[in-house]
Amino acid sequence: MSDVTVIGLGAMGAALARTLLNTYQVTVWNRTAAKAEPLVEAGAVLAETPEAAIAASPVTVICVGDYDDTRGVLERDPTALSGRTVIQLTSAAGTDASSLADWAVAQGADYLDGEILAYPSEIGGATTLVLLAGDDRAWQTCEPILRTLAGSTRYLGDNFRLPSMLNIALMAPMMGMIAGVIHAALECEKSDFPVAEYTELLSKLLPVANHQAQYLATTIAQNNFSETEAALRTYAAPMNVWVEQCKEQGINAEFPALINGWLQRAMDAGYGDEEISAIIKVLR
């Protein structure tokens, strides 16, 4: 008997198994058995089937491509789940998470479902974040294992929709930043300004952006938009100019137009003297 089983040894599953091997006896299974070889060399035991892998440990971590893959693996022999604890770390939409959880619990498993907000190289880090929902007893059982994998693991209670909702919500600011960088690079190219030099300038402003993102979220949480160093109207005028300049220069203007549209709606609604996060009031 080992302490923990890992099913799925892709980029992420292999990182999970390798990290667990530092502390625990680990059994592994992967559809393509050859991928298990380096882990077996490092001390893992290779099971011949997923059912045997689940039977080998009280706790099984599963991290495969998508939810259909997870279902396919677990449904091969549902009786194997009875009395076992499953930590499902394959990414999913919230609805899928709830229905698979219901099914697994009906087979007699204690069940947690989570989202990993990290790259494989970050697994095992003190600040690495995994968001989990599920049975409180399963969380109590698995917390040490999960903290080994991700020091900042957060248990969110039994609402299975929350990990995937928050996964996207926490990625959203990064997607905004990615869109901004791509758009800025377009503008640099159009103006013959070296993107490398832009990158160097950007590095000076990123700490400010980080602080500002947290501050704006706080104003929304407190529903208080009255204290501001730069009122919404101070952003609105240059945003209009930004959109027009893009159009004149033949640069794609979809991204600035989206932000400009939000700002103008907030101006029209009378929020010009408030913090820029007051935009949320016209989007609610």
Between 178 and 201, CB nearer to ligand NAP = 178
Closest residue to ligand NAP, judged by C-beta, is 10
Between 171 and 230, CB nearer to ligand NAP = 171
Instruction: Identify the three-state secondary structure at position 22.
Output: coil
Instruction: Report in angstroms how near the CB of residue 93 gets to ligand NAP at its nearest.
Output: 11
Chain residues that interact with ligand NAP, rule: CB under 6 A: 8-13, 30-32, 35, 63-66, 69, 72-73, 90-91, 116, 119-120
Between 150 and 266, CB nearer to ligand NAP = 150
Closest CA to 182 of 173, 195, 171: 195
Instruction: Report in angstroms how near the CB of residue 30 gets to ligand NAP at its nearest.
Output: 5
For CA atoms 189, 190, 193, 197, give the dihedral sign: negative
C-alpha span between 229 and 30 (Å, rounded):
55
- Please say whether the beta carbons of 167 and 115 come within 8 A: yes
Q: Which two tokens stand for residue 84?
A: 């076992």
Residue 217 neighbours by CB under 8 Å, 6+ apart: 277
| Pairing verdict, β 4-7 and 130-134 | unpaired
Instruction: Report in angstroms how near the CB of residue 52 gets to ligand NAP at its nearest.
Output: 14
Instruction: Report in angstroms how near the CB of residue 2 gets to ligand NAP at its nearest.
Output: 19
Between 65 and 270, CB nearer to ligand NAP = 65
